[in-house]
């Protein structure tokens, strides 16, 4: 959706809390233990307890809770490393994308950090439709 996000792979809550505070992040979690921690109850760390196991229901809860616009900035960040994508012309991606993609797509973007190339293929259309559904919830 174009919002800076990170996946915490640490297994202990203390590491998650420390990293979130250091990076100024809001913790989205299914773990009620994090919500009960003093750092959360005092408001020093913002934590949202996700109520559902369904990813789309979780996303809907996040969108509603933080009044996010799910499509306004969508597909503007690299899915791999969170960097802001930069527009690229068809000529600039020759040899970097499959020939079929080059012959059927006109808009490309590239991550300046990892070099990954993005285009608006069928996956993009499907994701966009799903995100638009979140707008009316």
113 binds Zn ion, rule: CB under 5 A? yes
- Count of residues engaged in binding Zn ion, rule: CB under 5 A: 7
Angle, vertex CA 34, rays to CA 28 and CA 38, nearest 5: 125
Is the CB of 1 or the CB of 34 nearer to Zn ion? Answer: 1
Query: For residues 30 and 53, is the Cβ–Cβ distance under 8 A?
Result: yes
Q: In 10 A of CB 85, how many CB atoms?
A: 20
Nearest Cα residue to 63 out of 5, 11, 119, 131: 131
Tokens of 107: 């808009």
111 binds Zn ion, rule: CB under 5 A? yes
Query: By rule CB under 5 A, what string of x and - marks binding of each residue 2-41 to Zn ion?
Result: ----------------------------------------
Nearest Cα residue to 116 out of 74, 80, 87, 75: 80
Query: By rule CB under 5 A, what string of x and - marks binding of each residue 50-89 to Zn ion?
Result: ----------------------------x-xx-x------
Shortest reach from residue 110's CB to Zn ion, in Å: 9
Angle, vertex CA 66, rays to CA 29 and CA 36, nearest 5: 35
Is the CB of 6 or the CB of 81 nearer to Zn ion? Answer: 81
Residues near Zn ion (CB under 5 A) are: 78, 80-81, 83, 111, 113-114
């Amino acid at each position: 959706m174009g919002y800076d996000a990170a996946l915490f792979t640490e297994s202990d809550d203390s590491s998650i809390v420390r990293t979130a505070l250091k990076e100024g992040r809001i913790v989205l979690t299914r773990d009620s233990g994090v919500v009960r921690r003093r750092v959360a109850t005092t408001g020093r760390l913002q934590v949202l307890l996700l109520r559902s196991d369904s990813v789309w229901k979780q996303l809907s809860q996040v969108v509603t809770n933080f009044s996010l616009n799910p499509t306004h900035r969508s597909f503007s960040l690299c899915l791999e490393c969170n960097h802001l994508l930069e527009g690229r012309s068809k000529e600039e991606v020759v040899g970097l994308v499959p020939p079929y993609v080059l012959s059927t797509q006109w808009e490309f973007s590239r991550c300046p950090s990892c070099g990954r190339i993005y285009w608006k293929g069928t996956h993009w259309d499907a994701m966009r439709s799903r995100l638009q559904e979140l707008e009316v919830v």
